[in-house]
Amino acid sequence: MCDIAAVQREPRDEPMSREQIRTLFGENLRRLRAREGISQESLARTCDLHRTELSLLERCMRSPRLDTMLVLAAGLGLSSVAELVEGIR
């Protein structure tokens, strides 16, 4: 039988703040868009989003909704949203 009190646990990292999450997401979005050579306007048109929405996301002024992340991943040709949320914990 395992003694729960004796089990050593790894210290957990503190959760990221909303600002940190928005910053990493915005950086990831900008990097992936630039990698594909796509303008904000072109990506917005492909994803049926307004260009200012992309601008706000990239400048860390707005948090993305789940459906927005899925549409952006598809518009960038990603197989999943994993690259958009890379580094976010």
CATH of the domain at 27: 1.10.260.40
pLDDT digits (tens, 9 = 90+) for 1-57: 434 444 344 456 788 999 999 999 999 999 999 999 999 999 999 999 999 999 999
The radius of gyration computed from the CA coordinates of the chain, to the nearest angstrom, equals 17
Whether 3 is in a domain gets the answer no
Rounded CA gap, 71 and 80, in Å?
A: 10
Is the pLDDT at 87 greater than 90, yes or no?
Answer: yes
* DSSP strands (E only) in 1-89: none
Whether 68 is in a domain gets the answer yes
Total-model pTM:
0.83
Based on the structure, what is the number of domains in the chain? 1
What is the maximal distance between C-alpha atoms in the chain?
Answer: 61
* Dihedral sign of CA atoms 40, 45, 46, 47 in order: positive
Whether 2 is in a domain gets the answer no
Whether 36 is in a domain gets the answer yes
Is the pLDDT at 85 greater than 50, yes or no?
Answer: yes
Rounded CA gap, 19 and 8, in Å?
A: 32
Banded model confidence at residue 64, pLDDT cuts 50, 70, 90? very high
Concatenating the DSSP letter of every residue in 49-66 gives --HHHHHHHHTTSSPPPH
Whether 21 is in a domain gets the answer yes
* Domain span at 33: 17-83
